[in-house]
Amino acid sequence: MKKSFLLITISFLSTLAIAQNGWIRPKKDSWTQISYQQWSSKEFYNADGILTNTANAFSSSEVTLYSEFGISPRANILINAPLFKSAKFDNTESASGFGDVRLEFKYKPFAGNFPFALQAAVEVPTGKAENLANNLDPALGYVNLPTGDGEWNFWATAVASQGFTNWMYGTLHAGYNFRTAYLGNNFSNQYRIGGEIGVSPYKTAWIIAKYSGLFAQKLEGQSNDFLRQSGTNFSQYGIMFLTEISHGLGISVQYNGFANFPSKLTNLYTPNYLSFGIFWNRQKS
The rounded distance, in Å, linking the Cα atoms of 28 and 71 is: 6
Report, in this order, helix, strand and coil percent for the chain, each rounded to 5.
5, 60, 35
**What band does 19 get if pLDDT is binned at 50, 70 and 90?**
low
Helical spans, DSSP H, in the chain: 3-8
C-alpha closest to that of 72 among 117, 17, 114, 36 = 117
Q: Is the pLDDT of residue 91 over 60?
A: yes
The answer to whether the predicted template modeling score (pTM) of the entire model surpasses 0.85 is yes
What confidence tens digit (pLDDT) does each residue in 196-238 have?
999 999 988 999 999 999 999 876 656 678 899 888 999 999 9
The answer for residues whose C-beta is within 8 angstroms of residue 221's C-beta and 6 or more apart is: 186
What is the structure's pLDDT at 89? Answer: 97
**What band does 12 get if pLDDT is binned at 50, 70 and 90?**
very low
Q: Is the pLDDT of residue 41 over 70?
A: yes
What is the structure's pLDDT at 224? Answer: 76
**What band does 185 get if pLDDT is binned at 50, 70 and 90?**
confident
The answer for residues whose C-beta is within 8 angstroms of residue 165's C-beta and 6 or more apart is: none
CA distances from 196 to 80, 157, 210, 231, 240 (A): 20, 15, 4, 25, 10
What is the structure's pLDDT at 169? Answer: 95
Contact 12, 257 (CB under 8 A): no
The rounded distance, in Å, linking the Cα atoms of 70 and 167 is: 24
What confidence tens digit (pLDDT) does each residue in 103-154 have?
999 999 999 989 999 999 999 999 999 999 999 999 999 999 999 999 999 9
Q: Residue 197 is which amino acid?
A: I
